[in-house]
Each structure stands twice: as structure tokens, then as C-alpha cells.
Amino acid sequence: MEQQLMFEKILVANRGEIAVRIMRSAQELDIKTVAIYEETDKDAFHITQGEEAICVGPGPRKDYLNIDGIIEAARKTGAQAIHPGYGFLAENPDFSKACTDAGLVFIGPPPEVISNLGSKVIARQIAIDAGIPVIPATDNLSSEGQGEEEALAFAAENGYPIMIKAVSGGGGRGIRRVEDKKGLLDGIKRSRSEAMMSFGNDAVYLEKCIRRPQHVEVQILADHQGNVVHLGTRNCSIQRRHQKLIEMAPAGLKKEFADRLCTSAVKVTKAANYLSAGTVEFLVGAEGEFYFLEVNTRIQVEHTVTEMVTGIDLVREQLLIALGEPISFTQQQVVERGYAIELRINAEDPKNNFLASPGKIQVYQGPGGHGVRLDGAIYQGYEIPRYYDSMLVKLTVYGYTWQEAVDRLARALKGFVILGVKTTIPYFQQILHEPDFIQMKFDTSYIDTHPHLVEYLEEEREMEKIARLIAEISAYGFNPHAQ
């Protein structure tokens, strides 16, 4: 029976690799796509991948966040639905509501779900009510003065270190670890300021610090019919400044323990009346205990590793759920097979505290072969804008065993040629030869406890010379295969 779609065209309210990735799944369902862009992003690759593209403003960044402007772009182009991707407006309940109010389908959760789970305090209470362990924490701290008293009382009861977190936080912003009273009081002020600038909400709360945990997450899907399934675990422990660098699936846990996490994730999802794709995140302690952390109400950057080990297209499922269709498989049909690892290849200098490295890509070549997936939005000659995220391409590899995945990742990294900007590639090459990584011995302290990983040789200068030589040869039309 031929599937009847409720809409024929969607607008993708994002940029870069995730915009391209969403468009591809939509096009497989014969859904036309509209790309948006700012004037400062007019050379971006994602603009060329949709059937249409529309400028939403001069930028930078502000017009990707302009709800009214994006709704108007959907109206002008005749789109019936909007996919927010990740970042930008993806977890903004006002955007979800504005789409619905405008008669558009928001491809994600309804606004009340995003609002509840976007508040870490409310999300914690949902988890508590569902019987899921949570980390000891305060409610939202009161404003100046009284909030300090609450903080000091919590410290006296739970001891240091303590985590300060923005209630509306995400992407590692508004989070800091403090070790003593002075750090606590100063840190609250700084986190409030950072949270206000990043999220327009200066509310913060305190959480007991779990020393050297693993960061494990569970991918879930929920449909209009009340079905909720999980797609197994991911390990996202290797982070810098609370931002993920490397992700893998499955998480490398014993099956019984992983099953407990997945069951807990489904319970939280049902308790929150969730819809669409989402991720339930946990901290796993050294003694085998686990704690609910948060729910991300969007597709994750690292969703590719789950797709590689399950064979399930998560964005396709998102689109079908938005169309009112049930999830296209049962829990019993979800099978994790082998291992997948994802690296975020960023235009950053690991030797300089991962400082962003914008500039022109003089030469670009990506790897390929069995079990290698690239999700990117760069091309040779592309000038990387300084206004946006520094990620160039996501490299995801699959292996039937962990060692095969590691070996394939090492081979794939050697296949990259990205000249003109500094990247995280040489840093990742160091990690792949590090004994703890090879043995899957890592937690959230991995980067800090392995500072020697930045001590790689500077080969970029020689490569840049080669790049200039190639550019000169190309300018004169030299063909090495000419007779």
C-alpha cells in the first residue's frame, strides 16, 4: 500500500552537516527540502543540497535564531513542516509552539515537553517520580544573598567538589566544578552571568560532583500511538570543557547493567509524555551506580554511531513520527551489532587549548572504504566563517569488534587531507594509540588525565607547503597524467 504523506515539503532550520543529513532522509521519502542561510553563511555547502534555499537575514547567528523570520521563510516557500536539527532553536519551546501556532508541523517534541525537560530541575523531578536515581542537588537557587546561604548549606551537607549548573543549560555552558567556599560563591555569580548570556535565564542549581564517572546515554524514539523504544547505549565520556569529542556505541557496559539503563530511559520518556527522537543521559559511577542526568529533546550530534550499530535511520523515523506514523519496528527488532566510533573533526588547535582555527580550506580529501561514514559540509576552497561552530566533518566508523573499529578509525584518519586550517585530526591519532583508549578504559576525566596527548609533532607546516605547491600547479593547469 502506497504511503500517504501529510506534507510534501519541509524547511530545515539549521546549517552545516546536520542540515545536509536531514535533507537526505527527507529526500528518500520524496519530501522536498528548503535550506535557510544567513548572508554571512552564503557559501555554505548545505545551501546546495535542498531543492530550495532562502536567506533569512544578514547574520551572523542572530537570524538562525529568529523565530518569526524562520516561520516566515517556511510560509514563503510553502513548507508544511520544520525540522530544527540540533543547536540553535532545536530545544526552544517557543519555537515549537510558534510552528504549531502557524499551522506548521514541528518535527520534534511538543513545547510543554521541551519546556519541562529543558528545566533540569523539573526533569529531575520527573525522573524521581519514575523511580530513577538522581544525583543529590538543590532546587533553583534563590537570587543574590539567600541563594548563597542555600549553597553553603548544601556544601556543608554534601561536601566538595560541587557542580554549578545552569537550569536551562546545554553544550557545556553554564557548568563549572568548584572545590571550596570561595570557588562556590564566585562560581555561582559567573555561572549566572554565563547562563543569562547563553540562554536568557540566569537560574542555576547545585549538584554533588560524582568523581570520574562515565557519561552514558540512551537513544529513544516515541510516537503518537504511545510506543516508546530504545536503541541501546552510547558512551560519551571523552570530553573537554563538558563538550563531547568522541562517542561510541554501544557503551561497553555489561549487558545486565546496560539493560537497566535502557529500561530507566524508557520509564523517564513515558513519564514525560515524550514524542519524537531524544536522548536520556546518565552518569555511571566507579562502583556501578548510575544517576539520571538530563534528557536532550532533539537529534544528537552522535546519533550516527547508533545508526551504524542498529541499521536504523533515526531522522527517517523522526519524519515518519511527525507524519503520525507509528515507529516502524518493535523493541525486539532492535539489535546492536559490533561497535561504532564517531570523531568530531573540528577546525581547532588542540595545542592551543582547542582554540578555533577559521580560514580557507586549501585542499580537502576525505577517507572512504568499508565501514566508513562521513557527515560533513565542507569543500575545497571553502572559507570557514568565524561565526559558527568549528566542526568540519563527523567521521564515524563501524567494526565487528572494538579493535576492528579502532583499527579502521586509524586507517580512516590517515585518509584525510585537510590543509589550510588546523584540525583535531593529529590529536585523535594520538588517542587511538593510547593504551587506556584501546582497552576502553576512560571516563570524563580522560582528557585531563592524559595531557601528553597534545605532544604530537607539528607536521602542518610541511603540509601547508605541499598545499601551496598544489595550488600553484593547479593555477597553471598542470595535468600529471598528460602524455
Q: Which residues are catalytic?
A: 298
Cα(243)–Cα(275) distance, integer angstroms: 26
Q: Which residues pair with 52 in a beta bridge?
A: 34
Task: Check whether the bond before 250 is cis (ω within 30° of 0).
Answer: yes
Q: Under the phi-then-psi rule, with left for phi > 0, alpha for psi from -120 to 50, and beta for the rest, what region is 357?
A: beta
Cα(161)–Cα(158) distance, integer angstroms: 9
Residue type at position 34: V
H-run or E-run covering 345:
strand 339-346
Cα(113)–Cα(92) distance, integer angstroms: 10
Rg (CA), the chain: 23
Cα(420)–Cα(403) distance, integer angstroms: 32
132 and 262 in contact (C-beta within 8 Å)? no
Backbone φ and ψ of 127, nearest 5°: -65, -45
Cα(313)–Cα(27) distance, integer angstroms: 13
Backbone φ and ψ of 105, nearest 5°: -85, 125
Q: Which residues pair with 374 in a beta bridge?
A: 395
Cα(287)–Cα(352) distance, integer angstroms: 35
| C-alpha distance from residue 76 to each of 27, 33, 55, 382 (Å) | 20, 13, 11, 29
Cα(112)–Cα(97) distance, integer angstroms: 9
